[in-house]
Amino acid sequence: MKRASGRGIINRIGISFGGRIGASLAQALLLALLARALGVESFGYYALTYAVCTFGTGVLDYGLTTRVLASSNLADKRGLFGALAVSKTLAFTIVVLGASIGALVFDADPMQRFLVLGTALSGLGDRFGDTSLNIQQGEKHPAAGTGLLLGRRLISLAPFLFGLTMTTALISLAMSAIIGIVAFYVLALPRAGRPTPLLVVLRFNRSIFLTGLGSNIAQLESAAVSLTAGVHMAGLFGASRRLSAPMNLAITTVMQVLVPEMASQTERHAREQIFRASRRTAMVLAACFLLAVPLAPWVTRALLGSAFVAASPIVGGVIAAAAFIALSQAYLGWFYATETPMSVGMSVLGSALFRLVLCLIAGVVWGPWGLAAMLPVSALATLIALHLIWRKHQPR
């Protein structure tokens, strides 16, 4: 097996990063337009619905979306894609049925019911789109993957040319959903063979599944805030947390490019070189995010509008947490490309559950500042745990 070409890696990172910057800006603008079109209360319902639906979709993914990044070192690659297609179809069916029932029993005006269904479909589109991007990145086709991502983001903005209304917001969500879902099946089905049995998937993917479960539990944080602090606080928290998505796009770019490179190497030294490069890049991103924390009030007003000004502390906490998440992703990239110990999955899952408990308490007791503080604290705890696990598994 040839060693990874340094120039090839840099080119793929450059292509991915350039596309991701455009997609991040488009997503930030989309979030701002949605917040202004829906208002705090409706955005609270949007955040809750999106959280629940993406949680369910993520759980039913069984960690397969992450696994396709390193599919080059799997013996039954077609079986993996077959299982992926089955899991996504199951998730689509359950989420659409659940959202339809929820919309029918929802005690609100018809437009709010359409918002519930549209948001559920949008969550599916985002999850399916993430998998499509990982498929392309795993096969080292960053231009196709980032082009699809950027195109979907830009097309979703088009309806707002006709005004900031509930109707244009719903059309935007629907367009994003359709593109994400169709693109996944176009990519996955030609690569799929007889699906790997579910029990086999869970056995060889259990640690990655637990790691993904931790990330999916994070989707329920807005629901936890709403349960104790009300829909208004959930709207502030949900809008702030959604601002992390553009930052996460930049963070995951490096991992999506470097995990396939590390997985394709047979020499540990070559893998370690790639890992150190990814960690240095993550450090640069982390420094940029920490320097941006004081800008939180301006970012809140500029992107979300004056109605969300009370969310400024939470936005600052989201930006600070992104710094530690960037470094954590570098360590997770190493584990995904080599071997993922059970302690990794348990650490990420434990951190997510602890953060969920804090969401139940912080919002109602300490308000926005309490929610702001718990985000970077929990992210730092996760980073420390992953670093210690990585150190433990290094050869003496």
Percent of the chain with pLDDT over 70: 87
Residue 211 pLDDT > 90: no
Tell me if 131 sits within 8 A of 65, measured CB to CB: yes
**Could you say which DSSP state residue 267 is in?**
S
In this prediction, residue 385 has a pLDDT band, given cuts at 50, 70 and 90, of very high
**Tokens at 46, concatenated:** 């949007």
Instruction: Give Cβ neighbours of residue 6 (< 8 Å, ≥ 6 apart).
Output: none
Short-list 317, 322, 311, 330, CA closest to 386: 330
Residue 46 pLDDT > 60: yes
pLDDT (0 to 100) of residue 383? 93
Instruction: Report the range out of 87-101, 267-281, 298-312 with the highest average pLDDT.
Output: 87-101
pLDDT (0 to 100) of residue 203? 75
Residue 274 pLDDT > 60: yes
Distance CA 201, CA 150 (A): 31
Q: Over the range 174-195, which residues count as b (16 or more CB within 10 Å of their CB) and which as e?
A: bbbbebbbebbbebbeebbeeb
Tell me if 354 sits within 8 A of 378, measured CB to CB: yes
Which residue bears the tokens 């930030």? 28
Residue range 213-219: average pLDDT? 75
pLDDT (0 to 100) of residue 40? 74
Which residue bears the tokens 């029918």? 104
Residue 347's CB is within 10 A of a number of other CB atoms, namely 22
Residue 62 pLDDT > 50: yes
Distance CA 74, CA 87 (A): 19
Residue range 59-69: average pLDDT? 79
pLDDT (0 to 100) of residue 347? 86
Whole-prediction pTM value?
0.67
**Tokens at 203, concatenated:** 């056995």
In this prediction, residue 2 has a pLDDT band, given cuts at 50, 70 and 90, of very low
**Amino acid at the residue 114:** F
**Tokens at 28, concatenated:** 């930030």
Q: Which three-class secondary structure state does DSSP give residue 139? A: coil
Structure confidence by residue, pLDDT tens digits, 124-176:
888 898 888 888 877 777 677 778 878 888 888 888 888 878 788 888 888 88
Distance CA 379, CA 241 (A): 13
Tell me if 379 sits within 8 A of 331, measured CB to CB: no
Instruction: Report the range out of 59-68, 201-210, 366-375 with the highest average pLDDT.
Output: 366-375
What backbone torsions phi and psi does residue 109 show, to the nearest 5 degrees? -70, 160
Residue range 60-86: average pLDDT? 78
Short-list 338, 136, 88, 352, CA closest to 253: 136
Distance CA 193, CA 112 (A): 41
Residue 250 pLDDT > 70: no
Q: Which three-class secondary structure state does DSSP give residue 108? A: coil
Q: Is 43 exposed, middle or buried (0-12, 13-18, 19+ CB in 10 A)?
A: buried
**Amino acid at the residue 81:** F
Residue range 232-246: average pLDDT? 77
User: What mean pLDDT is reported for the chain?
Assistant: 80
pLDDT (0 to 100) of residue 351? 86
Instruction: Report the chain's terminal Cα–Cα distance, integer Å.
Output: 26
**Tokens at 7, concatenated:** 């120039």
Residue 386's CB is within 10 A of a number of other CB atoms, namely 24
Q: Is 342 exposed, middle or buried (0-12, 13-18, 19+ CB in 10 A)?
A: exposed
DSSP structure string for 329-391:
HHHHHHHHHS---HHHHHHHHHHHHHHHHHHHHHHHHHHHHHHHHHHHHHHHHHHHHHHHHHH
Distance CA 384, CA 396 (A): 20
pLDDT (0 to 100) of residue 209? 76
**Amino acid at the residue 53:** C
**Tokens at 206, concatenated:** 């259990």
Structure confidence by residue, pLDDT tens digits, 284-338:
889 999 998 999 898 888 877 777 888 899 999 989 998 998 899 888 888 877 7
Distance CA 180, CA 247 (A): 20
**Could you say which DSSP state residue 298 is in?**
H
pLDDT (0 to 100) of residue 15? 64
